[in-house]
Amino acid sequence: MFNKRTLIAVVGVLAASLTLSACSTASTDTGDNSPGSSSDASATFNDQDVMFAQSMVVHHSQAIDMAQVILDKDGIDPRVTELAQDIKDAQGPEIDQLNGFLEQWDAPADMEGMDGMDGMDGMSGVMSEQDMADLEAATGTEASRLFLEQMTVHHEGAVEMAQVQVDEGQDPDATALAEKIIKDQNAELELMDELLATL
């Protein structure tokens, strides 16, 4: 009887031990996979990523406005019109992508209520209200040249902003977009320089 009880006790202890071990392993596995990945997800962006997305949305929006001014005019060099359309076609989807980042990060879509020209003060490469008025008033070759000159400054500012993101940002997707902006706009800077030389 004693031996039987002892055997039952030993079996009980072993069973309990195996159960606890299994629970402990399951707990550890869950901890490694779930919280770890959620922690990684929450740490994929920093303040620079947010600033990049917010400011580049505004910067791109002005570039599209400038391009539209040229597209609405008659008598513009067709090469300049083509460039304006390319800029509009490229930067519109990038704005959507940037806004998608902000939504994903649960960050505001604007920089503390930044809106219109006032919100662009101090942003690299942006045009003033007077600059935009001059572009709207210009015609023909003068308009083509002014657009190229203004967009050159604008692109240089965007490249500068994107480089800060590459250097200081944390989110890999936002940084990849910044690298694309640098590549694409540097190529357009070269093209604008060539066009200006022929007008």
Asked if 162 and 179 count as a contact pair (C-beta separation under 8 A), the reply is yes
Instruction: Dig out the tokens for 59 from the structure.
Output: 């910067």
**What b-and-e string marks burial along 140-153, b requiring 16 or more CB atoms within 10 Å of the CB?**
eeebbbbbbebbbe
Lowest average pLDDT, out of 21-25, 57-61, 94-98, goes to 21-25
Q: Three-class SS of residue 105?
A: coil
Residues 141 and 154 both lie in one domain:
yes
- Are 84 and 70 in contact by the 8 Å Cβ rule? The answer is yes
pTM, rounded to two decimals:
0.74
Domain match, 74 and 52 both? yes
Clarify whether residues 57 and 147 are in a common domain. yes
Residue 111 has a pLDDT of 66
What are the start-end ranges of the H helices in 43-120? 47-71, 78-104
142-195 residue pLDDT tens? 999 999 999 999 999 999 999 999 999 999 999 999 999 999 999 999 999 999
Residue pLDDT, tens place only, 73-101: 999 999 999 999 999 999 999 999 999 99
d(CA 109, CA 93): 16
Q: To the nearest whole number, what is the mean pLDDT of the chain?
A: 82
Residue 57 and residue 140 in one domain: yes
* CA pseudo-torsion sign 153, 129, 83, 194: negative
Domain count, the chain: 2
User: Of 9, 25, 43, which closes a domain?
Assistant: 43
Residues 54 and 24 in one domain: no
Instruction: Find how far residue 45's CA is from the centre of its chain.
Output: 11
Q: How confident is the model at residue 10 (pLDDT cuts 50, 70, 90)?
A: very low
